[in-house]
Amino acid sequence: MICQFCNTNNDKVIDSRESDGGKIIRRRRECVSCGRRFTTYERVEQTSRLTVIKRDGTHTPFNRDNIMRGVLAACGKRAISEEAKERLVTELEEALHHEFEREVLSAEIGERVMHRLRDLDEVAYIRFASEHHQFKSVDDLRKELDLLEARIKDVKNQQPLFMDRQKADPAKK
C-alpha cells in the first residue's frame, strides 16, 4: 500500500482483524519509511454491478469511493471516527446491492446518505444536504434547519422506553 503521508510503497502490517462477520478485514499498517500508521480495509468486491443514473441522465458504474468522498467532505473535521464513516458507507453499499438489481438513481443514494448522516452528526447532515438539494439561498438552508430542529424536539420530548416501575406507579412501592 502507498503511504498516505509520504507516498512510498514500503509498509508492514502490524495488526489484522475481521469485522462485519468476516466480510471485511481491517489492517493496521506502519510505513517503514516514515514510521506513521494508517488503516486499510479489504473486502470482496460485489459481483452484481450496479449502475448509477445521475441527474443529467448519464449512467456510470457504482463506486463506493464516490459515496465515501461525499461523506468525508460532509464530515470535514468533525469528531467522527473513521470506523463510523466506513460503517455508514459499507452498510449503505450493502443495502443498495441488496435492494437494487441493476440501476439506482443518484438522488436515491443521496437521500440515503443524508438519512444516515442525520443520525450520525447534524452538522455533517446539513453540509451534505446543502450539496444534495443544491440550496440556492439562505432560506432553503433555514427550511432544512427548521425540519432538523423539529425532528430533534420530537425525539427529546418522547417518553423513555423503560420507566422505573416505582415512578410509573407510586402505589406499588
pLDDT over threshold 80, residue 162? no
Closest CA to 74 of 105, 38, 115, 39: 115
Q: How much helix, strand and coil, in percent to the nearest 5, is found in the chain?
A: 45, 20, 35
Greatest pairwise CA separation for the chain in angstroms: 71
Indicate the range of 85-99, 112-126, 131-145, 152-166 predicted with least confidence: 152-166
Per-residue pLDDT tens for 110-123? Answer: 999 999 998 898 89
Interatomic CA distance for residues 148 and 116, integer angstroms: 13
Q: What is the pLDDT of residues 19-57, one digit of tens each?
A: 877 878 999 999 999 999 999 988 876 555 899 999 999
C-beta neighbour count of 37 within 10 angstroms: 14
pLDDT class of 72 with cuts at 50, 70, 90: very high
Average pLDDT taken over every residue of the chain: 83
What Rg value do the Cα atoms of the chain yield, rounded? Answer: 21
Q: How far is CA 173 from CA 159, 161, 164, 169, 170, in A?
A: 21, 20, 11, 8, 6
Residue-level pLDDT at 110: 93
